[in-house]
């Protein structure tokens, strides 16, 4: 970020009693220059509002000076509206960059504001809380870090693949603004979390998480949407063709038209060759594929 500042509009003048004092006038807001670049290298012209709102919240909280100007450049490495939490990732990255720049406040203050903006825009279901934990997280209570949100996590390093249908997308607000979807998603999620939280959250719980991920997709009704069902079926067919079904789990990403290809066992990470073969086969079918990792 490049940091500049503006001067007050009206300078303060003191008359020493000969006339009325002129107090300092209002300070102009510093300028914002926001550029969001998608994974295809093209600027996303309508994606800057969440960062404008973040700066305003930080100014209100006095974590930023109102007169200072900022240039914000965000590059996304995954598509938006595919269940990958890109709005939360962008907000957390920019918020933490401001904290590094100013050395003011605590990490939780910045994360709380990022969470508030994400929820205001209907662009996530608590992804800021998950990002704050890192690793493999279990969100016990909704909310922001340090303000009601509770999350557990354990650490593992696992390469994986994210797969999506490029011509499809689902904005989170489509579901959370619909009472029927909201009810079915909440009920299914609460049942899965209640089962997962019964035991200590450790490396050994991976099979339980994989089971509940499948249960949630079915119980919430999200798997019943034809476009998701078709994506999952095609990916599983390629896994079978490559004879890797004993090595991987394929799970839906919520709430996009996308899946993650994960190791069946954490003590047997997927190999580079296996990931490359799967990625090549799925790209040949026209799917978007990106390698990433849990860490």
204 and 260 in a single domain? The answer is: yes
Same domain, residue pair 134 and 201: no
Compute the average pLDDT of residues 231-241: 97
Which one has a higher pLDDT value, 22 or 182?
A: 182
Contact indicator for 156, 270 with CB cutoff of 8 Å: no
Residues 232 and 252 grouped into a single domain? yes
| Same domain? 98 vs 198 | no
Of 151, 169, 191, which residue sits at a domain end?
151
Q: What is the pLDDT of residue 7?
A: 39
Residue 70 pLDDT more than 90? yes
Task: Identify which has the larger pLDDT, 265 or 181.
Answer: 265
Same domain for 162 and 143: no
The DSSP result for 130-188, as a single string, is HHHH-SEEEEEE-SEETBEEEEEEE---EEEEEEE-TT----THHHHTSHHHHHHHHHH
| pLDDT above 70: residue 26 | no
Total domain count for the chain?
2
Beta partners for residue 136, in sequence order: 154
CATH of the domain at 222: 3.30.70
Q: What's the CA gap between 254 and 206, in Å, rounded? A: 18
Q: What is the pLDDT of residue 147?
A: 81
Region of 292 please: left (phi>0), alpha (psi -120 to 50) or beta: beta
Mean pLDDT over each residue of the chain, to the nearest integer: 89
Tell how far CA 66 is from the center of its chain: 27
Domain boundary pick from 151, 174, 208: 151
pLDDT for res 6: 47
Do 70 and 168 sit in the same domain of this protein? no
Q: Is residue 243 domain-shared with residue 289, that is, in the same domain? A: yes
**What span, in angstroms and rounded, lies between the C-alpha atoms of 29 and 32?**
9
Q: What's residue 12's pLDDT?
A: 47
Cβ-based burial of 171 (10 A; exposed 0-12, middle 13-18, buried ≥19): middle
Asked if 89 and 208 sit in the same domain, the reply is no
Q: What is the pLDDT of residue 254?
A: 84
Question: Quick one: 130 and 76 in the same domain?
Answer: yes
Same domain as 140, residue 160:
no
State which residues form the domain around 262. 156-294
Looking at the structure, tell me whether residues 62 and 192 fall in a common domain: no
Domain-ending residue, one of 95, 119, 151:
151
Q: Are residues 137 and 271 in the same domain?
A: no
pLDDT at 3 over 70: no
Average pLDDT for residues 168-182, to the nearest whole number? Answer: 75
pTM of the model: 0.85
Looking at residue 47, which CATH number applies to its domain? 3.30.230
| Terminal CA-CA length for the chain | 26
Rounded to 5°, the CA angle 85-88-91 comes to: 145
């Amino acid at each position: 970020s490049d940091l500049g500042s503006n001067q007050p509009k009206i300078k303060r003048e003191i008359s020493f009693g000969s006339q009325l004092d002129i107090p300092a006038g209002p300070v102009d807001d510093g300028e914002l220059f926001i550029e969001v670049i998608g994974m295809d290298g093209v600027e996303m012209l309508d994606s800057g509002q969440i960062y404008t709102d973040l700066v305003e919240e930080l100014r209100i909280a006095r974590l930023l000076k109102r007169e200072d100007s900022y240039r914000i450049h965000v590059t996304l490495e995954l598509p938006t509206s595919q269940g990958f939490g890109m709005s939360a990732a962008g907000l957390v990255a920019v918020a933490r960059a401001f904290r590094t720049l100013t050395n003011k406040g605590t990490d939780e203050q910045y994360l709380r504001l990022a969470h508030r903006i994400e929820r205001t825009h209907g662009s996530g279901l608590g992804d800021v809380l998950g990002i704050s934990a890192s690793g493999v997280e279990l969100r016990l209570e909704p909310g922001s870090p340090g303000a009601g949100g509770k999350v557990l996590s354990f650490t593992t390093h696992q390469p994986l693949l994210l797969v999506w249908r490029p011509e499809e997308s689902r904005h989170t607000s489509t579901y959370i603004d619909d009472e029927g979807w909201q009810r079915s998603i909440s009920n299914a999620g609460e049942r899965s979390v209640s089962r997962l939280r019964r035991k200590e959250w450790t490396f050994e719980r991976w099979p339980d998480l994989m089971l509940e991920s499948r249960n949630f997709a079915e119980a919430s009704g999200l798997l019943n949407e034809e476009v998701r069902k078709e994506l999952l079926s095609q990916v599983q067919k390629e896994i079978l063709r490559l004879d890797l079904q004993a090595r991987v789990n394929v799970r839906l990403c919520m709430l996009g038209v996308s899946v993650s290809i994960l190791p069946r066992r954490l003590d047997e990470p997927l190999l580079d060759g296996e990931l490359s073969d799967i990625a090549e086969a799925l790209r040949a079918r026209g799917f978007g594929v990106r390698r990433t990792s849990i860490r």
